[in-house]
Amino acid sequence: MRARFPAIKTFDSFDFSFQPSIKPTEILELQHLGFMEFQENIIFIGNPGVGKTHLAISVGVCACHQGKRTLFITCHELLLRLSSANKKGTLERVLQRYARYELLIIDEIGYLPIEKDEAYLLFQLLNMRYEKHSTLFSTNVPLSSWGELFKSPETAVAILDRLVHHSRIFRITGKSYRMINKIP
């Protein structure tokens, strides 16, 4: 698989009983990729360790198996790549490349603040993908706080507007799996 997953995770190894805030049927439905037919976006929101990346990769693995051009990238790395292309004068080409993936998984929005010019680069990419291809996001920041996360609240609103318009949002409110059996 060339999707650059950081590890291979599948729905089979996800313990749904540990996260009762999400319905297994709604999550498992994603493996049929119906959302991609309608260019819907997927958003996983939750605290660290609740399984956002695990589920994001699981969806990505299904997409790869069904022959969809898929890429997994952290938000931080994506912004670095877009900023560097912008400086080198190759932004248009790099945007086109990321816009062409049938499924783009952008992991970890919110761990680092997003500067104004970075927000605009992300906006341009999402605008190119809007109603053409699905994008899957994971974030630890509730959508209502994205205005503060992005140093440009207007761009955050424009991004959210496109993102949320056709989307399936999953709020995972359970405990961190990393802490399992670690805290008495």
Please give the residue ranges that form the binding site for ligand ADP (CB under 6 A).
Answer: 9, 13-15, 18-19, 46, 48-54, 138, 177-178
Least distance from C-beta 86 to ligand ADP, angstroms? Answer: 28
Helices (H), the chain: 24-28, 34-37, 52-65, 75-88, 91-100, 116-129, 146-149, 153-165
Name which of Mg ion, ligand ADP, none residue 51 binds, using a CB cut-off of 5 to 8 Å depending on partner kind.
ligand ADP
Least distance from C-beta 110 to Mg ion, angstroms? Answer: 10
Name which of ligand ADP, Mg ion, none residue 133 binds, using a CB cut-off of 5 to 8 Å depending on partner kind.
none
**Rounded distance, CA 165 to CA 57, Å?**
23
Q: Please, which residue, 13 or 144, has the CB nearer to ligand ADP? A: 13
Least distance from C-beta 36 to ligand ADP, angstroms? Answer: 21
Q: Please, which residue, 53 or 152, has the CB nearer to Mg ion? A: 53
Which position's Cβ is nearest Mg ion?
Answer: 53
Which among 76, 41, 47, 74 has a CA at the least distance from the CA of 59? 41
**Rounded distance, CA 165 to CA 182, Å?**
40
Which among 173, 151, 145, 129 has a CA at the least distance from the CA of 40? 129
- Gyration radius from the chain CA atoms: 16
Least distance from C-beta 89 to ligand ADP, angstroms? Answer: 35
